Amino acid sequence: MIDLYELAGADPALRFSPYCWRIRMALAHKSLNAKLIGWHYGDKRLPGGNTTVPVLVDDGQVIGDSTAIAIHLEQKYAEGPSLFGDEGSMAHVRFIVAWTDTILQPALFPLLGAEVIKHVKPAQQGYYRQTREQRLGTTLEKAAAGAVQHTSTALAAMAPLRSVLADEDFLGGVEPSYADYAVFGAFQWYRVLGAPELLNADDPVHAWRERMLELFDGLALEAKVAA
């Protein structure tokens, strides 16, 4: 019995957290079913004293942090297809996860913060604004007003991704790996929030994103998108 606590919007069907999407995809990769439990900023405390989602509860074992959850799934469900490949590959995948956390997602965030707050319950909007504006160093609205510049910065940040995906179907090679799920989480965050198309149709990243959306019978494609 697996429970996955994941971020929900004020509309509980809207699931836009990039970190939670990593785990949704990783569970599907291992053909595991989980009960999805929506959690919203300010909701009751998460299991195990965790303060961020995703949190996985697997037969009573509580694991917080998306990378720790992915490693747990890899180790406990070792018989399923590997998320990381061999031991050396895990370090490479973790580099891509770290690139997503520190370069890709921060490049996209100025384009998204003003969208996210529309889906935060009114009582929690002050908390969201204060913490995220501190991170941005400006207001959510000023960041959104710089969309043209932020878009070009984000597209430039994707250069290493573009370079690999020009030759490979997935970051994992012929099959997707956890590296693909980590990077894809950022694109699914953008997509579920209903933000405008970011990628040119001839960008290899665009073709890869389409392949990712089709995986697992369109798991990500079918997710509710903000109106």
Ligand X SMILES: N[C@@H](CCC(=O)N[C@@H](CS)C(=O)NCC(=O)O)C(=O)O
Which spans of this chain sit near ligand X (rule: CB under 6 A)? Answer: 7, 17, 19, 41, 52-54, 65-67, 131
Handedness of CA 104, 221, 43, 112 (dihedral sign): positive
**Residue 56 bridge partners (DSSP):** 4, 63
Within the chain, how many helices (H) and strands (E) appear?
A: 10, 4
B/e letters for 30-43, b = 16+ CB within 10 Å, e = fewer, are: beeebeebbbbbee
Q: Closest residue (Cβ) to ligand X?
A: 52
124 vs 138 by CB, closer to ligand X: 124
72 vs 211 by CB, closer to ligand X: 72
94 vs 211 by CB, closer to ligand X: 94
Contacts of 30 (CB under 8 A, 6+ apart): 73, 77, 80, 81, 83
CB of 181 to ligand X, least distance (A): 12
23 vs 154 by CB, closer to ligand X: 23
d(CA 70, CA 84): 9
- Note whether 45 and 55 are within 8 A (CB): no
Residue found under tokens 């399923």 = 80
CB of 193 to ligand X, least distance (A): 12
CB of 106 to ligand X, least distance (A): 12
132 vs 209 by CB, closer to ligand X: 132
CB of 114 to ligand X, least distance (A): 16
172 vs 185 by CB, closer to ligand X: 185
Contacts of 77 (CB under 8 A, 6+ apart): 30, 32
Residue 22: closest CA among 117, 119, 103, 100:
100
CB of 69 to ligand X, least distance (A): 7
CB of 54 to ligand X, least distance (A): 6
